[in-house]
């Protein structure tokens, strides 16, 4: 227990004191995340917070964990984290293509699967499936790791969001490992939680720094490792054994995983690249209702916690029924958000100098001005007037 507390504290303080230095260096070197049409923020902000998180996690992990021959997998955890770190830093500074990023993620996943022996080998009765063939187990594990990394990467769309949800998932797994004396994975989980906690001090709205791909992919990687170990070890634990471990593990990561798979599926069905930008993520639905970034982060964090608790409480009904209920509940919530989404309409407004200009307005009980297009061509204004008359 002392190692967990020390690991959390080391990760927290290293991250906490490194972030201001990173912000200062980023300002001097002009290393900013520049706003564009797919970004929510309006001002250039440094996106290198993941460097501080990585430093806090790795130092805490190495100082608190006693490596033995039974823990050979952890050297490969570290190697995979280093690959993700350099991949993320390069993308945060220079920007790399989606397929190059995917290749790097696949390399990290392959190291974990083939060298670290990280495998989902038993589905615990999901659709009648139990022990998996080794080839199937490897493919499923590779898929799980890559999807989880990208899920947290895409979740990082509002101030404090990825960090808040990542804290919930990491602490849920860390507490469960600690209760069952699985100290190495508990230390890993709490070290990451400490790094995230320190980072959130600077990232909650108004954000002074972003975690960037370095931080979000690191959270995804560690959560993938933890949840796969949970699926493998939980059925045999002494305290609160979880015979439906695949379903509970899925429930812990449900919000980022299902939101990513849903959005990717929608883009593919429309003939677009799964990595093309849009505003169909859950946090976009919530932001479009006028909620603050902080509120969105807290709502998503609470939702992640709710799915986690629900999954543990329903463990007795079996893996298949839990997953079916989780997916059904998720899509009901998404449908409710979608049908109540404020409708955007074009109206003409009169500015202070008397000029008429088209504006995009949210049609809701409390009308909110979203953005104003300052085009000077009379054709645009005429079109906007025509739209208003039709409405």
Which of 193, 221, 240 is at the close of a domain? Answer: 240
Which of 225, 240, 255 is at the close of a domain? Answer: 240
3-class secondary-structure state, position 374: coil
- Tell whether 377 and 233 lie within a shared domain: no
Position 256 in a domain: no
Please, which residues bridge with residue 368 across strands? 362
Residue 383's pLDDT is what?
A: 44
Position 36 in a domain: yes
Do the beta carbons of residue 298 and residue 307 sit within 8 Å?
Answer: no
Which of 216, 240, 264 is at the close of a domain? Answer: 240
- Tell whether 64 and 190 lie within a shared domain: yes
Residues of the chain above pLDDT 70, percent: 83
- Tell whether 215 and 361 lie within a shared domain: no
Assign 386 a pLDDT band (cuts: 50, 70, 90).
very low
- Tell whether 235 and 376 lie within a shared domain: no
CA distances to 29, 150, 182, 215, 222 from 218, in Å:
24, 10, 21, 5, 6
Position 300 in a domain: no
Minimal CA–CA distance to 226: which of 80, 49, 83? 80
Assign 276 a pLDDT band (cuts: 50, 70, 90).
confident
Position 112 in a domain: yes
Residue 65's pLDDT is what?
A: 84
Position 252 in a domain: no
Do the beta carbons of residue 51 and residue 59 sit within 8 Å?
Answer: no
Position 276 in a domain: no
Calculate mean pLDDT across residues 7-35. 88
Minimal CA–CA distance to 98: which of 298, 285, 291, 264? 264
Residue 390's pLDDT is what?
A: 43
CA dihedral (128, 333, 310, 203) positive or negative: positive
Calculate mean pLDDT across residues 174-188. 94
- Tell whether 366 and 224 lie within a shared domain: no
- Tell whether 60 and 198 lie within a shared domain: yes
Flag the least confident range among 78-82, 114-118, 210-214, 290-294.
Answer: 290-294
Is the pLDDT assigned to residue 153 strictly greater than 60? yes
Is the pLDDT assigned to residue 207 strictly greater than 70? yes
- Tell whether 7 and 136 lie within a shared domain: yes
In this predicted model, what pLDDT tens digit does every residue of 53-92 receive, in sequence order?
A: 999 999 999 999 877 666 778 999 999 999 999 999 999 8
Please, which residues bridge with residue 350 across strands? 356
Residue 47's pLDDT is what?
A: 85
- Tell whether 236 and 378 lie within a shared domain: no
What is the model's pTM?
0.84
Position 44 in a domain: yes
Position 258 in a domain: no
- Tell whether 41 and 163 lie within a shared domain: yes
CA distances to 119, 179, 225, 347 from 228, in Å:
7, 18, 5, 51
In this predicted model, what pLDDT tens digit does every residue of 81-96 receive, in sequence order?
A: 999 999 999 998 888 8
Say how many domains are in the chain. 2
Please, which residues bridge with residue 222 across strands? none
CA distances to 65, 134, 296, 362, 378 from 366, in Å:
54, 56, 19, 9, 29
Range of the domain at 149: 2-240
């Amino acid at each position: 227990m002392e190692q967990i507390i020390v690991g959390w504290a080391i990760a927290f303080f290293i991250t906490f004191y490194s972030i201001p230095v990173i912000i200062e260096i980023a300002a001097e070197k002009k290393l900013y995340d520049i706003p564009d049409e797919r970004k929510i923020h309006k001002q250039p902000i440094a996106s290198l917070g993941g460097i501080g998180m990585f430093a806090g996690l790795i130092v805490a992990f190495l100082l608190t964990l006693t490596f033995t021959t039974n823990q050979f997998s952890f050297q490969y955890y570290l190697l995979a984290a280093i690959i993700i770190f350099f991949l993320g830093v390069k993308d945060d500074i220079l920007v790399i293509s989606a397929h190059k990023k995917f290749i790097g993620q696949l390399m990290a996943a392959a190291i974990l699967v083939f060298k670290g022996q990280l495998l989902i080998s038993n589905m615990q009765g999901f659709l009648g499936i139990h022990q998996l063939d080794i080839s199937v187990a490897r493919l499923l594990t590779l898929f799980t790791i890559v999807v989880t990394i990208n899920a947290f990467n895409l979740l990082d769309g509002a101030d404090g969001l990825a960090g808040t949800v990542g804290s919930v998932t990491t602490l849920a797994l860390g507490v469960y490992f600690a209760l069952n004396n699985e100290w190495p994975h508990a230390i890993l989980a709490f070290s990451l939680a400490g790094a995230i906690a320190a980072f959130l001090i600077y990232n909650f709205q108004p954000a002074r720094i972003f975690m960037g791909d370095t931080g979000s992919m690191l959270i995804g990687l560690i959560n993938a490792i933890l949840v796969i170990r949970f699926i493998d070890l939980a059925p045999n634990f002494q305290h609160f054994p979880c015979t439906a471990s695949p379903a509970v593990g899925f429930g812990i990561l449900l919000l980022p995983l299902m939101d990513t798979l849903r959005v990717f599926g929608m883009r593919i069905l429309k003939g677009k690249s799964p990595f093309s930008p849009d505003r169909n993520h859950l946090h976009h639905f919530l932001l479009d209702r006028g909620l603050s970034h902080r509120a969105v982060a807290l709502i998503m964090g609470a939702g992640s916690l709710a799915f986690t608790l629900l999954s543990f409480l329903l463990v007795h009904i079996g893996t298949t029924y839990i997953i079916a209920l989780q997916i059904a509940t998720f899509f009901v919530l998404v449908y409710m958000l979608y049908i109540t989404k404020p409708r955007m309409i074009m109206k003409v407004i009169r500015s202070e100098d008397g000029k008429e200009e088209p504006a995009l307005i949210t049609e809701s009980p409390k009308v909110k001005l979203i953005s104003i297009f300052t085009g000077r061509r009379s054709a645009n204004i005429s079109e906007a007037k025509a739209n208003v008359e039709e409405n």
